[in-house]
A = this chain, B = another copy of it.
């Protein structure tokens, strides 16, 4: 209670002539004197005033160091949105993430380029498949290596009212979504609604389309064929 006063006496002085932290340096040296003879009375008064003023200067140093670190962090991150403390960390996180993805992309590029050098004139084979790197050059010529779509469940059922429901579950890796969409596009169906849902590493596609009940089996094999064709790098699909 009563020690609040002398604590806050220099607290005022502290805050009056500095507000930003980069200035405490000279404040630190000049003012720290007042803290010094504070430490000369280690347990002179009662409870709470006994150990301070050695702690507070080290704590102050700790804060200062930490802020300097944060400032340094801000200096290595290019896209700083706000000078805010939390924003600094957030931007750093996002920047690291972007660097990660970019690194992955670039590594794929490199292996792509190396492969391109290897097989620049001869498209001999792509027996070992390096997924991911292939999808990029797709338009040039097909010869694509893929991670195949593994169909877990495929149901084609009639709902009545000339409506057929296709529900398909498969794994979800790489560009499975894209390929799946292409597979269905290629069938030229009379689609009423279509939806894809992804969670826990799997993909769930549901399509409502116009059709009679006797189209069910045809449609099932068509879908299976389209997916198989997309899985096969030799096929004219997978443009």
Contact = CB atoms under 8 A, between A and B. Distances in A.
Contacts of A62: 86
20 contacts: A4-B48, A65-B86, A69-B86, A81-B218, A89-B89, A92-B92, A96-B99, A99-B99, A99-B103, A100-B188, A101-B188, A103-B103, A113-B117, A137-B141, A139-B141, A140-B141, A178-B182, A194-B199, A195-B196, A195-B198
A116 interface: yes
Interface stretch (A50-58, A71-79, A146-154): A71-79
Among A72, A73, A85, max chain B CB count under 10 A is at A73
A64 to B, nearest CB: 11
A193 interface: yes
A27 interface: no
Contacts of A76: 93, 96-97, 100
B113 A89 contact: no
Contacts of A100: 76, 188
Interface residues of A, number: 67
Contacts of A135: 109
Contact of A193 (B116, B136, B198): B198
Interface string A90-120: 1011011111111101110110011011001
Interface of A: 4, 48, 62, 65-66, 69-70, 72-73, 76-77, 81, 85-86, 89-90, 92-93, 95-103, 105-107, 109-110, 113-114, 116-117, 120-121, 134-142, 144, 175, 177-178, 181-182, 186, 188, 191-199, 215, 218, 239
